[in-house]
Structure 1
Amino acid sequence: MQRIGMVIKLNADKVAEYKRLHADVWPEVLDMIKQCNIRNYTIFLREPENLLFSYYEYTGDDYAADQAKMAAHPKTQEWWSVCMPCQKPLDTAKDGEWWIEMEDVFHLD
């Protein structure tokens, strides 16, 4: 199992919309997340800084292939097109980075 943590900013004027969207995530998107071997997926919000932190556990054996499968899924693409305008990359993001993966420095089971 691989633990993944990522961070991004949330536009201040989109906080309520983002919370509303995630209170009722589309079933097709949830199913695709599971099909791509992602478990224990959680998104945290830190206000007033409006930082989003996501955490999930990857249980598959080909992370790149599962991420490509998810990215190719039409309903997931539609979901991302609704959510992405709510978000903005950190100032330190590299070209093409959206959610920025974080280093796993400590874990206690």
Structure 2
Amino acid sequence: MQRMGMMIGIKPEKIEEYKRLHANAWPEVLAQIKRSNIRNYSIFLREPENILFGYWEYHGSDFAADMAEMANDPKTRDWWTLTDPCQEPLATRNEGDQWSMMEQVFLME
């Protein structure tokens, strides 16, 4: 299992919409996340900086393939047409990434 963290900005005028969307996340999208070997997925909001922090635990063996499968899922792509306009990717993100992945530097179990 690999713990993974990521960050992205959120447009202030889209915060309520983003919260509403995630309060009613589509079952098909949640099922795809599970099929992509992701568990314990959480998104946190930090205001007034308007930063989203995402955390999940990846239980697969080929992260790139699982993410490609998710990106090819039509329902997930439809979901992203609603959520992506709410977000402001960080300028320092890797090319092609929406969210910026983070390095884990500490863990206490």
Q: Could you tell me how far apart the structure 1 residues matched to 2:95 and 2:66 are?
A: 23
Corresponding position of 1:93? 93
Shift of 1:94: 4.1
Corresponding position of 1:74? 74
Shift of 1:108: 1.1
Amino acid at match of 2:88: K
Q: Could you tell me how far apart the structure 2 residues matched to 1:97 and 1:64 are?
A: 12
Cα deviations by residue, 1:33-85 (Å, 9 ceiling, x for unpaired): 00111000000000111100000000011111110110000000000111000
Corresponding position of 1:60? 60
The total of aligned residue pairs comes to 109
1:2-81 alignment runs, 5 A limit: 2-81=2-81
Query: Which runs of structure 1 show a deviation greater than 3 angstroms over 4 or more consecutive aligned residues?
Result: none
Corresponding position of 1:102? 102
Shift of 1:9: 0.1
Give unpaired runs (5+ residues) of structure 2.
none
Give the % identical residues.
Answer: 59
Shift of 1:97: 2.7
Give unpaired runs (5+ residues) of structure 1.
none
- Taking a change above 3 Å as real, the CA distance of residues 64 and 21 of structure 1, as seen in their structure-2 partners, is same
TM-score normalised by L of structure 2: 0.96
Q: Secondary structure at the match of 2:97?
A: coil
